[in-house]
Structure 1
């Protein structure tokens, strides 16, 4: 999980309008989010994850298929596995979902409460926070093939000399690739660059 002060601040704002918690999946790629956080009741989160309900959740299908913001009750998709009914047993009786970004890197945010439907004002706040979270969590631009190769060698445990030999380049050329990768990833060290590249699924 990427720890950024901006993301954490936005999540606090999100929590203030979600009495029963929220679920955030940012920049979903290859069926997996780059950033994931859920504050729904712990017992429900455990059940949801154990049974892989995200593969059957009508809210996820809606969010992947459409961009926008709506109440759960307005989503016309079928729920053959009863995911929403099961969620209601844990106090998630009313909710809203917001989806933003290209389908190749979609962000989906859900909020819930137990007592009433979310107001139009709360839906607008959810939509704005979803957009801001999506932008804040945006990964850096793609690395070049040369940068990926250099980072991958070190990630595999090679030292500089071995990595340079493996790639058929000089050590100074390898170091130049690593420096440029660190700059692009906004990393202070090569170890941090490797960690970020893994988190961003670039290597």
Structure 2
């Protein structure tokens, strides 16, 4: 299966598994990802952006400082600015962050559910899926221009519906 199809399949799988939304940054350099996929509701994205919460978000801080996977509930004591509480006001009640650093780059994502804490099995699958996305998009210079365009369109679609 071509990488473009595998990437699309993984994004759709994440979308189904994390119904309250997610934000994935692939191959983050300094603070900017090469690819960004977001599926959170627009009201949360607008609030998050308007209030500049990325700088205060314990999910983002953990993703930049660690590798592995952790539930949002385990980050509550690091949420001095109340970002997770605000997220819950938008239906993002439970979630996880996973981060990997491989081959000189870092990828990370925050994933949310409204109904329950993620299971250990879901966290393991999440880590595998992010690793696959990271690996499939690693050698950007070897991806066909059509794949770049598809990734860009997928990002726009997920973020803006």
SS state at 1:24 partner? strand
SS, match of residue 34 in structure 2: strand
Distance 1:133 1:81 in 2: 31
Residues 10 and 55 (structure 1 numbering): CA distance in 2 closer, same or farther, change over 3 Å? same
State whether residues 23 and 110 of structure 1, in contact with CA within 8 Å, keep that contact through their aligned partners in structure 2. yes
Query: Residue 165 of structure 1 corresponds to which residue in structure 2?
Result: none
Distance 1:7 1:50, change over 3 A: farther
- Cα deviation digits, residues 22-81 of structure 1 (max 9, x gap): 111111112001110111111001111222211111011101111001111112652222
Seen in structure 2, the aligned counterparts of structure 1 residues 41 and 5 have a Cα distance that, compared at 3 Å, is same
Aligned to 2:159: none
Task: Give me the TM-score of the superposition, normalised by structure 2.
Answer: 0.81
Q: Which residue of 2 aligns with 1:22?
A: 22
Higher Rg of the two aligned structures: 1
> Structure 1 residue 106: deviation in Å?
1.1
Superposition map of 1:7-46 within 5 A = 7-46=7-46
Q: Which gives a bigger RCO, structure 1 or 2 (Cα 8 Å, sep 6+)?
A: 2
Distance between the aligned counterparts of 2:65 and 2:23, measured in 1? Answer: 18
Q: Could you list the runs of 5+ residues in structure 2 that have no partner in the other structure?
A: 153-161
Please say if residues 25 and 36 of structure 2, whose CA atoms lie closer than 8 Å, have aligned partners that are also in contact.
yes
Partner of 2:85: 85
Runs of 4+ in 1 over 4 A off after TM superposition: 184-188
Local SS of the residue matching 1:4: helix
The alignment of Structure 1 onto Structure 2 pairs a total of residues equal to 147
C-alpha spacing 1:114/1:187, structure 2 compared with 1 (3 Å)? closer
Write the distance in 2 (CA, Å) between the matches of 1:139 and 1:92: 33
What SS class does the counterpart of residue 78 from structure 2 fall into?
coil
TM-score norm. by structure 1 comes to 0.65
Structure-2 change in CA distance of 1:56 and 1:128 (3 Å): same
In structure 1, the residue matched to 2:115 is 115
> What is aligned with 1:100?
100
* Unaligned ranges ≥5, structure 1: 141-183
Q: Is the 8 A contact 2:71 2:95 kept in 1?
A: yes
Q: What root-mean-square deviation, in Å, do the aligned CA atoms of Structure 1 and Structure 2 show?
A: 2.5
